[in-house]
Amino acid sequence: MPAQFPLRRRRTALLVVLACTAALSFQALLAPRLWDSANDNSAIDYGDIIQDDARQLLLSSPMEEMEMIDQSHRILATLSMEEIFVKEDEEILSIPVEMGGSSENRKSSEDEPSSTTATANIIPHAQLIDANQPLPPYTMQDAIESSKLYEKNFALLVYDPDDNAFYGLYSKRHFWVTGCQKLVNSFKYLAFFLRTLFPERFRGKKSAELIIPISSGDFPGIKNTCYTHFRRASSDVSTFTPRDRKKFIASGQDCPSDNSAPILNFGSVFRHPNMFPTMIDMPVPTHEHLFAFGVWLSRKIISNRLSDELLFGEKIGLEWEDLIPQVVWRGTDFSYLSQAVPSLDKPQLEDSLTNLPPLRQLKQEDYVTERIDKMTKKLERKTAFGAAKKTRILERVRKRALETAVIDEQIPATSTKAAVVESLKEQYMHYLPRWKAAVLTAEAEVNAEPDTLPWANMKFSTFIKDGSKASPSGSEEYKDWEEIGIATGGYMSPQTLSKYKYQIDLGGGGGTTWTGTIQKLAMPGLLFHHLTPTKDSIHDWMKPWVHYVPVSSDLLDLKQKFDWAESHPVESKQIADEGTNLMRYLSSPEGLEAMLQQDIVEPLRRVIEAYQPVSTTHSQTSAGNWRVAIQEIVRDDELVPMMMCRGHSLYKKCEQMLDTKDMKNTFTRESSRTFGGSH
């Protein structure tokens, strides 16, 4: 691996004690040593950092550990999902001093209190893996208990020695949704990885069973009550009303916080390591990520689906100086962390118009001005007309335009756009990030000088209609927005997007973009990386201010970062080049092998080692038979087999044990097919 690339970094659990003042202000602090070296191009040895933090908690006394945990709980109980990250991200978001940033915004390491690394009595599993530490032992019962956190997109992968096969079990308590297809794909790939990477562990009747909780989807399918319970955890229950206390206790029974079972999540996970600390981020189940690793493992070639997605500058013949100086984005009008941040929504144009009492007047003035301007240009060519005559003609045009404007309901509203933008800005913080970007773009267009490009060009090129993507152009749903000139824009191919100097990967349903980030890192332009409460495994390879420029979740600093980039072209180009070089390395044989080891092999090895077979935990009651043990734990045939895979090949189809069209009904109603039946 080239020296300039760090080993995969999982952010260690660096949650610090916040001082509670009378005004309940927060002083969240991020341990600076993770980022001390983030502003130069030298290699960083994250292994020592992670091991030191893990050792701090591992060697602490039970009393010290509980005190650290209690401090973390008190912080988290008072914060909403996005607020948890605001203070912690200040250090990351600040422009480095050596790149022209202010030293006032950067904390001194001498002022930092010691950090803590755990909540809920559990050291984050990702941290232990990176520290080369074993995971806590877990049993079948622990694995089944972890399902209580979920309402969808969760399954148990079970290796059955008798059949020498892997089964996917889904709970009848969970909903089956469209996004579960990602879970199905993850199960297929995981069976292949386990069989191929650890053949000595899966030898039929010579081996013990293995049970691994897995989840997938744009966003972890955690129950809403568990999100609420997490925020309330360790609050002073004595201050709750009887009704709230009852709800809190009930939610705690359904949201086990001390379960040691690891959960392999194939998709976006929370950046904060204390958010469900047993959740381990795995590559997302797309052709550019998880499937590409499978192709590499089985054939030692780079998947075309990965290489074709990456448009390096030399491939398309573009240099930094050729790029258009705008922040560009095209994508889908989609939800954003709907379960975690339910307060954010799309703006309603009707509301903005209601908040504009002079709107009709603006439309009339717009129309009148347009008619007068047209006539003025015509009169300039009428040299025979005197000034008085021209004035009389313009006055008649003005009166006629006013009369027409009062009657005509389809008056052009060009300057109305500015008024709508002002109205939208008043509710800006309530909008989804992608709509925030659309508002910023509209504002940039309104404020742009004549013959000058607006700094932002972030618009919707698609939206979801009847389960599929559709163009907003000409659609009934976006007709009014399109008439005013806000939010909608034409489709741009990757080749067209790559012509712009500034890219941004605006988070979608799970808070990230999955393939969008790697595509835009590879392009010759600079990536403004959208920092949200979630992350993907690929993000652990990226360093702020080295491979990308971070922007806040609410995008309020995006214009500032654009201005900085424009005024610091040398630094901007250097970061853009480093981002491109990172993707060039990660898509090479050497990089793919490094990611395979760090992102797949090591997590799976630790999980396998941590599992305690039923022969050691249920030997007396079930005679070591895992099928009998499951029935003893869940009863009522709650777990249903949805799929069986042998895992011998990446390309061979698995046996689907339930008809696809009946999946949803199966898992929202009682099912007569139980595990142990014919398959």
pLDDT digits (tens, 9 = 90+) for 292-309: 999 999 999 999 989 888
Q: What pLDDT was estimated at residue 248?
A: 61
Q: What pLDDT was estimated at residue 71?
A: 44
For the cut 80, the answer to whether the pLDDT of residue 52 exceeds it is no
Cβ neighbours of residue 122 under 8 Å, at least 6 residues apart? Answer: 136, 258, 260, 277, 278
Question: By mean pLDDT, which of 344-353, 449-458, 513-522, 647-656 is the weakest?
Answer: 344-353
Angle at 114 between CA 108 and CA 119, to 5 degrees: 130
Q: Comparing 429 with 634, which gets the higher pLDDT?
A: 429
Q: State the pLDDT confidence band at 153, using cuts at 50, 70 and 90.
A: very high
Are 563 and 443 in contact by the 8 Å Cβ rule? The answer is: no
Q: State the pLDDT confidence band at 55, using cuts at 50, 70 and 90.
A: very low
Average pLDDT over residues 510-529: 94
How far is Cα 427 from Cα 275, in angstroms, rounded to an integer?
A: 29
Q: What pLDDT was estimated at residue 662?
A: 62
Q: What pLDDT was estimated at residue 320?
A: 94
How far is Cα 524 from Cα 495, in angstroms, rounded to an integer?
A: 11
Q: What pLDDT was estimated at residue 543?
A: 96
Q: What pLDDT was estimated at residue 518?
A: 95
CA distances from 524 to 396, 455, 494 (A): 56, 18, 12
Q: What pLDDT was estimated at residue 100?
A: 84
How far is Cα 267 from Cα 221, in angstroms, rounded to an integer?
A: 11
Q: What pLDDT was estimated at residue 457?
A: 98
For the cut 90, the answer to whether the pLDDT of residue 438 exceeds it is yes
For the cut 90, the answer to whether the pLDDT of residue 604 exceeds it is yes
Q: Whole-number mean pLDDT of the chain?
A: 79
For the cut 60, the answer to whether the pLDDT of residue 678 exceeds it is no
Q: What pLDDT was estimated at residue 80?
A: 54
Amino acid letter, 638:
E
How far is Cα 326 from Cα 456, in angstroms, rounded to an integer?
A: 5
Q: What pLDDT was estimated at residue 369?
A: 81
Average pLDDT over residues 591-596: 96
Question: By mean pLDDT, which of 84-93, 273-282, 594-603 is the weakest?
Answer: 84-93
CA distances from 162 to 204, 206, 405, 609 (A): 6, 9, 81, 21
How is the chain split into domains, by residue range?
1-130, 139-259+613-679, 313-347+428-586, 351-407
Number of residues that make up the chain = 679
Q: What pLDDT was estimated at residue 459?
A: 98
Q: What pLDDT was estimated at residue 260?
A: 85
Are 84 and 272 in contact by the 8 Å Cβ rule? The answer is: yes
For the cut 90, the answer to whether the pLDDT of residue 164 exceeds it is yes
Q: What pLDDT was estimated at residue 631?
A: 84
In this structure, whether the domain defined by 313-347+428-586 belongs to CATH 3.30.70.330 is answered with: no
Q: What pLDDT was estimated at residue 386?
A: 81
Structural Rg of the chain based on CA atoms: 29
CA-wise closest residue to 154 among 265, 58, 80, 65: 265
Q: What pLDDT was estimated at residue 64?
A: 45
Region for residue 618 given its phi and psi (left: phi exceeds 0; alpha: psi -120 to 50; beta: otherwise)? alpha
How far is Cα 13 from Cα 675, in angstroms, rounded to an integer?
A: 39
Q: What is the pLDDT of residues 56-71, one digit of tens each?
A: 433 444 444 444 434 4
How far is Cα 26 from Cα 21, in angstroms, rounded to an integer?
A: 8
For the cut 60, the answer to whether the pLDDT of residue 527 exceeds it is yes
Identify the H or E element spanning 616: helix 614-617
Q: What pLDDT was estimated at residue 658?
A: 80
Q: What pLDDT was estimated at residue 387?
A: 84
Q: What pLDDT was estimated at residue 5?
A: 47
Average pLDDT over residues 535-542: 94
Are 113 and 16 in contact by the 8 Å Cβ rule? The answer is: yes
Q: What is the pLDDT of residues 468-496, one digit of tens each?
A: 999 999 999 999 899 889 999 999 999 99
Region for residue 499 given its phi and psi (left: phi exceeds 0; alpha: psi -120 to 50; beta: otherwise)? alpha
Q: Give the residue carrying structure tokens 């962390």.
A: 337
Q: How many CB atoms lie within 10 A of CB 225?
A: 17
Q: What pLDDT was estimated at residue 503?
A: 98
What proportion of the chain, given as a percentage, has pLDDT over 70? 72
Q: What pLDDT was estimated at residue 230?
A: 63
How far is Cα 573 from Cα 320, in angstroms, rounded to an integer?
A: 7
What proportion of the chain, given as a percentage, has pLDDT over 90? 48
Question: DSSP H helical segments within 161-303, as ranges?
Answer: 180-197, 224-232, 242-254, 290-299
Report DSSP letters for 337-378, one per residue. STTT-TT-B---HHHHHHT-TTHHHHHHHHHHHHHHHHHHHH
Q: What pLDDT was estimated at residue 673?
A: 38
How far is Cα 543 from Cα 548, in angstroms, rounded to an integer?
A: 7
Q: What is the pLDDT of residues 389-413, one digit of tens each?
A: 888 888 888 887 776 655 444 444 4
Please return the burial class of 372, using the count of CB atoms within 10 Å of its CB with bins 0-12, 13-18 and 19+. middle
Helix%, strand%, coil% for the chain, nearest 5: 45, 15, 40
Sign of the CA dihedral running 230, 234, 240, 246 = positive
How far is Cα 551 from Cα 561, in angstroms, rounded to an integer?
A: 8
CA-wise closest residue to 123 among 63, 50, 224: 50
CA-wise closest residue to 455 among 547, 561, 529, 544: 561
Q: What pLDDT was estimated at residue 83?
A: 57
For the cut 50, the answer to whether the pLDDT of residue 45 exceeds it is no
Q: How many CA atoms lie within 13 A of 653 on its CB side?
A: 3
Q: What is the pLDDT of residues 225-255, one digit of tens each?
A: 787 766 555 444 555 567 766 666 666 667 7
Q: State the pLDDT confidence band at 7, using cuts at 50, 70 and 90.
A: very low
CA distances from 197 to 6, 80, 185, 488, 596 (A): 25, 40, 18, 47, 11
